[in-house]
Amino acid sequence: MLVVKKFGGSSVADKERIFNVARRCAEEYQMGNDVIVVLSAMGDTTDELLEKAAEINPYPSKRELDMLLTTGEQVSVSLMAMALQFLQVPAISLNAFQVQMHTTSRNGNARFKRIDTDRIRHELENRKVVIVTGFQGVNKYDDYTTLGRGGSDTTAVALAAAMHADKCEIYTDVDGVYTADPRVVPNARKIEEITYDEMLELATSGAKVLHNRSVEMAKKYGVELVVRSSLNTEEGTVVKEVVKVEKMLITGVAADKNTARVSVIGIEDKPGTAFKIFNLLARHNINVDIILQSVGREGTKDISFTVSQDDLKETLEVLEARKEALTIQEITHNEKVAKISIVGAGMLSNPGVAATMFEALCNSNININMISTSEIRITVLIDEKDADKALIAVHDGFGLED
Ligand code: ASP
Ligand code: MG
């Protein structure tokens, strides 16, 4: 059996944890299985590298930033290989260049295109545990790229798909996927099984357990994922296409504070204005989320939308630069907002789900600024200061607790 095991930064944060992971991998290997290990950088390494870069240049080029960030994962994989070797288990570490994990060229947000499997196969045939750097790839210029924060999950799924692995386990510092973040909602419950679609909506709604692109890829290639803790042997959460029907209306609740509202006010109320604004943002690769259009004064209209806080500065600059051409009279923004989302395939066939959510918020005296929905998700935008309270209220409102 071929097993891919991915461990996040906190699972390899220090010597003890590295050996804890090494022992788990050794056990898997000693059962006779082929083992591929994907690692993130140790602890907060990636954040620290970003800070170092900012000390030197507040606007570093994305190529050099990736050159720097990819070193983090090289440290953890080489140390892990040494730890396994110390335990008398043959192991080899490989980076994205050595494996030949090809991505698009966009530094900082690259996507996998093709993964060579020859080198890995060769090492597995020699009965070695193969330890691969997460989060990185190489582009057509032979330059390093990174996949976006949290991207090591995607590396693991991509390898599992390319190698036709029998199992893909994502180890983290929590026991699995919860109905809400247990640090905020103490009575949140571990979910046994969740569909790709639900997991995808939760991941894009702020649940930080899995990188959303990893779920997208797992769905596309039918890679069943197990999310579990590196610190115990609990079963974890299985992410797959079809799950046994649970009676719950809603599968989970998530909060996303990394969001900002932008409003463009007083634009001409005629065909094409919305197109021009959002086309401009799309050309700058700015992802727009909730959109709300309302009637303004004297035949004008206002459009509000949310973007990730990381994109706020660029959004404002881009709009400001084209303000006149876009007939915008005024641009306002607010960073102190948060999105609260409920997700669940159960809402497809049950009316009243939105009402239950709004009632829970109303009972806690929380005002809703904007609303958006998909087939299996409802998201509201609220004041950031209310986010934790809202998460608890909505979670309780649907009876998700233990
Ligand atoms: N080390 C990278 C990050 O901190 C990738 C990952 O952890 O998955 O974002
Ligand atoms: Mg992660």
> For the segment 88-102, what is each residue's pLDDT rounded down to a tens digit?
999 999 999 999 999
pTM of the predicted structure, to 2 decimals:
0.89
Q: How far is the CA of 7 from the centre of ligand 2 (A)?
A: 9
Task: Count the Cβ atoms, other than its own, within 10 Å of residue 56.
Answer: 9
pLDDT at 324: 94
pLDDT at 41: 98
pLDDT at 242: 83
Helical axes 45-56 vs 62-86, angle rounded to 10°? 150
pLDDT at 246: 62
* Closest ligand 1 atom number to CA of residue 46: 4
Question: Ligand 2 (ion): which residues have CB within 5 A?
Answer: 8, 150
Task: Count the Cβ atoms, other than its own, within 10 Å of residue 31.
Answer: 10
Q: How far is the CA of 204 from the centre of ligand 1 (A)?
A: 16
Distances (CA, A) of 2 to 30, 33, 40, 120, 125: 13, 6, 20, 12, 12
pLDDT at 247: 63
Is the CB of residue 41 below 6 angstroms from any atom belonging to ligand 1?
yes
**Minimum CA distance residue for ligand 1 atom 6:** 150
Q: How far is the CA of 125 from the centre of ligand 2 (A)?
A: 30
Q: How far is the CA of 248 from the centre of ligand 1 (A)?
A: 33
Which residue from 152, 153, 209, 230 has its CB within 8 A of the most atoms of ligand 1, so it is best to mutate?
A: 152
Give the chain's residues under pLDDT 70: 245-247
Cα separation, 139 vs 106, whole angstroms: 8
pLDDT at 268: 93
DSSP 141: T
Q: How far is the CA of 20 from the centre of ligand 1 (A)?
A: 20
Is the CB of residue 95 below 6 angstroms from any atom belonging to ligand 1?
no
